[in-house]
Amino acid sequence: MSRFDRQRLEDILAAIDAIRSHLERGSLSDGLVFDAVRVRLIEIGEVAKALTEDSQSDEPDIPWTEIARMRDRLSHRYFDTSHAIVAATVDGDLPELEATVRRLLEHAVEH
């Protein structure tokens, strides 16, 4: 794994940590919290776009393309972003993504 990819994966973990911090301040029903979480999801999608195919192929069960597409939707169609979709992403998808990113980083250190 390239140093660039390691750095990008660490960026994903930082964004996930920031999302948790935002949610400690309030729920997604709070407009400021929602916007802050949305921006961090955009960052995660941007990283997914930037990862090399080698890194993505190491974890084929993660829908890297869908993560990137969500970034595009959150960035360009922000007025019709569904709170339910963002909540489902935060609650259902981020824990799996975090575990995968940690696994990729651990594997990179071992090799």
Q: Which residues are identified as catalytic?
A: 71, 76
CA dihedral 94, 80, 31, 22 (to 10 degrees): 10
DSSP H or E run through 81: none
CA neighbor of 87 nearest in space, from 28, 46, 42:
28
How many angstroms separate the Cα of 98 from the Cα of each of 24, 36, 95, 103, 105?
Answer: 18, 18, 5, 9, 11
Phi-psi region of 28 (alpha: psi -120 to 50; beta: other; left: phi over 0): alpha
